[in-house]
Structures are given as structure tokens and as C-alpha cells.
Structure 1
Amino acid sequence: AIVVPPINANNFELKQTLINLVQSNQFTGRQDPHNYLRFFNKVTSTFRHPEVPNTTVKLLLFPFSLEGEARIWLDKEPPRSILTWEDLVSKFINQVFPPSKTTYLRNEITNFLQKSNETFNEAWERFKDLLRQCPHHGFSELHQLDTFYNALNPNDQDALDSAAGGNFLDKIPRECLSIIESKSKVRYSRIRVTDVRANANAPLSSSSHSNSFDLQQIAAALEDKLDIRMNRFEKSLNEMKNSIVTPTAPLKAVTKVCVTCGSNHSYNQCLLTRGGNDFPVFHDNI
């Protein structure tokens, strides 16, 4: 079924060690096909020939990688029906990963929701697992991030908004992903510390696991609220600082000048104004 392009290179041959490596981990039809293709691509990338494309090497090696139902499928394909590596991958995926399974996983991704007893880190890991199970889901990064954010509980949404300094989804996808990964790592490390402390202090009983989990949830929730309040306080403080206008020059003191004689006193204190007989003595300038 597979048509291998002509090979004009001299002294080209598939090493038996490479064939043995592929045959040591054959695809039977029960494994994840995408994981297997990643393994196969990694193995074949170790073999390079300057005059032979890597896709040709893959077409030659792929039949050795199948056994059982997967091998039967390839043998039943019409002669000369697979002309390129892309053709082979497409038919392989459609056979072992039918459209119905793709539809099911796409729906799981679209309808994803954080469980009531699920931490932020656990929800993020579960969401990524769904994406890995269906790498051809067709959802853009922005769509994936929007789906995950709207699937979270209000506390975790507030935590992301706080970390983003506003609406989380206003950030570009790369920044959103960085914030999520950062929050996930922090939350995971906090839970591990809380779990160790709870296990060290809790009595040995059948309820110790549930007590530990409750402590994890309470500690994580309190720390999230504290983070949110601190970020809001810092934001308000920065806004207050920005609203203060610094004068460009110091203000000069107001000097009293008499409109009658021009001396440094008020109009009411001037002797001329009050009709006195004492007149100021004027001198010539030096």
C-alpha cells in the first residue's frame, strides 16, 4: 500500500539496530496513536542521510512498527494508495482514532468544568490532558484559554484577574499561559507544604486523609483571598500616587505692599492714608 519514493543515494540501508528499536515498541491498536507517532518520529529522527529525506525513512520503517490489528489494517489498504508520509499519518489516525472519538473529546474540552473538590492545579492538569488526548482538536490558543478561565470557580477566576492586574482575558495568549503556569506551580507547592504539615500533626485515623484535604482547600482559599486583597491594595496605592500632582516650583510668600507709598505695610497702616503729619523721607538712589 505504501509507495516509497526512489532512493538514488549510494550505500544507503536501514540499520538493523533501528529496525529492532522500532519493533521493540510496536503499535497494536490499543495505545494512544498520537503518543506513538511522537515516539516513532523521535526514533526515526536519529537516522539521517544527506541524500535521503527523513519522510522516506519513515515510510520504509513504519510497517515494522505495527502488529496485530494495526498491521492487518495496513495490509488491507489498497495497493499504491499511500504516496506520502502525510497520507500515511492521516489514514492511520482515521483508522485508530475515529471521528466519533474526536467528537467526544472535543465535547469534553468544550464542556470542561472545574470540579467542586478540585484545586486550581488539578483542574489545569486535567484540562491539558484532554488537549493532549486530542491534539487535532482545532481550537485556537485563545479559545482554549477562554474555555479554561470560564470553567473555573469564582475564587480562581478572581486570582487570575488579580495576577493579570485586571481582566485576565485582556492579556495576549502567551501572557495568559504564563500567568496560569505560575499560579499552578505556586498553588501546587502550597498544597504540598500544607499536606506535609497536616500529615505530621494529624492523628492516625481513617479520616486523616479527608482532614488533610480539607486543610489544603481552606489554606489555598485563604491564601488566594490574601493575594487578591494585597494586589488590590497595591493597585489602589499606585493609583493614589499617580493622582498626586507635584508642584513644579515652590510657592512664594505674599508680600504686603502699600498702594499709597509703596512701603512694606498694608494700606490701613500707612501714615499718609490715616492723615498723619509724618511724611516719609525720600532719598536719591546711589
Structure 2
Amino acid sequence: MKIPNVPNTSVKLMLFPFSLEGAARIWLEKEPPRSIETWDDLVSKFINKFFPPSKTTNLPKMKSTSFSQKYDETFYEAWDRFNDLLRGCPHHGFSELHQLDTFYNALNSNDQDSLNSAAGAISSDVAELKDLFGHVILDRKNQTPSSAPVKAVD
């Protein structure tokens, strides 16, 4: 929904109350008038109320270290579940690189290989096979008797 000359953050701020129910709705109704004037104010107050650092500081570290792709879970299902975990702890403080590394290492080997292929990388098994094949080719080449050059005689 785009309203001419009205910033998207203002539209979100106006519509946000309609997305709430239960404790979140009660919390917003109890906020003093004009205490929330911007989208950033709302986000900050909401996160501090429902996801305070005191409750979420250690949670992602515990869960992320035990995160792994389930046996029958697809790559996309695992990705969604991992992102849900991170969204549940907005104070996690993990860099994007750490998040990706944690997720990648939690995948099964087939999905890791698929990611490696998509990224243009090769898995360690494929790299070892390639090296082994290269050595076999070189050994065979070295074992083939080379013919000595023949000098033409007049």
C-alpha cells in the first residue's frame, strides 16, 4: 500500500496496532499518548518490552550451537527454522558471517555439496578425487615408454 507523499514508516506506524492481540495489544494501549511518534520508537519499545536483553542474551548461543538440519527437513525448511530462531532473539549480536557459518555447518552433507556447487566451490571429497585422478594420469604418462627420436640417415 503506497500513499502519495506519506512515508512507508508512517503507514506502518498507523497499521501496526491492527496486527496486535493479547498482551501486545494491552501493552500498546497502556503506552502514554504521544510516547511513540516514529516507527523506530515503536520498534525499540516493542523489542525492549517483549524481547529484553536479560531474557535473550544467552538464548541464541545455546540454541545455535545445537542447531542442526533435521533428518527429513529440506534445505529451505531448515533455513526458515534457523531464521525463526534468530528472529526470536533480536539481541543475538551474531555477525552475518557467523550466522551463515553456523547454518552451513548444521546442514547435511548433500545440502552442503549443493551449496558448494552453486557457489562454484568443490567439496573436499571431489577435490581429493580430482587430485587422485591427476596423480594417476601423471603416473601413467611417466610409465609410458617414450620413443627416442629417430634421426633420418641419408
TM-score by length of 1: 0.37
Which residue number in structure 2 is paired with residue 131 of structure 1?
83
Which residue number in structure 1 is paired with residue 150 of structure 2?
253
Correspondence for 1:236 among 123, 126, 132: 132
Which residue number in structure 2 is paired with residue 119 of structure 1?
71
Question: Which secondary structure does the structure 2 equivalent of 1:111 belong to?
Answer: helix
Which residue number in structure 1 is paired with residue 64 of structure 2?
110
- Work out the CA distance in 2 between the residues paired with 1:158 and 1:251: 50
- Work out the CA distance in 2 between the residues paired with 1:113 and 1:59: 35
Identity %: 45
- Work out the CA distance in 2 between the residues paired with 1:113 and 1:61: 35
Mind listing any 5+ residue stretches in structure 2 that lack a counterpart?
Answer: 120-124
Counterparts of residues 169-248 of structure 1 (less than 5 Å): 178=118, 228=125, 232-238=128-134, 240-241=136-137
Which residue number in structure 2 is paired with residue 25 of structure 1?
none
**Which structure has the highest helix share of the two?**
2
Counterparts of residues 38-187 of structure 1 (less than 5 Å): 47-114=1-68, 118-119=70-71, 121=73, 125-126=77-78, 128-135=80-87, 136=90, 137-150=92-105, 160=112, 163=113, 178=118
TM-score by length of 2: 0.61
Q: Is the Cα–Cα contact under 8 Å of residues 113 and 151 in structure 1 kept in the other structure? A: yes
Q: Is the Cα–Cα contact under 8 Å of residues 68 and 106 in structure 2 kept in the other structure? A: yes
- Report the CA distance between 1:88 and its aligned residue: 0.6
Larger Rg: 1
- Work out the CA distance in 2 between the residues paired with 1:138 and 1:71: 28
- Work out the CA distance in 2 between the residues paired with 1:177 and 1:72: 50
Distance of aligned partners of 1:143 and 1:74 in 2 relative to their CA distance in 1, 3 Å threshold:
same
Q: Is the Cα–Cα contact under 8 Å of residues 112 and 147 in structure 1 kept in the other structure? A: no
Q: Provide the alpha-carbon RMSD of the alignment.
A: 4.1
- Report the CA distance between 1:85 and its aligned residue: 0.6
Higher relative contact order (CA 8 A, sep 6+): 2
Q: Is the Cα–Cα contact under 8 Å of residues 109 and 127 in structure 1 kept in the other structure? A: no
Deviates more, 1:235-244 or 1:88-97: 235-244
Q: Is the Cα–Cα contact under 8 Å of residues 75 and 111 in structure 2 kept in the other structure? A: no
- Work out the CA distance in 1 between the residues paired with 2:80 and 2:100: 11
Q: Is the Cα–Cα contact under 8 Å of residues 82 and 103 in structure 2 kept in the other structure? A: no
- Report the CA distance between 1:113 and its aligned residue: 5.0
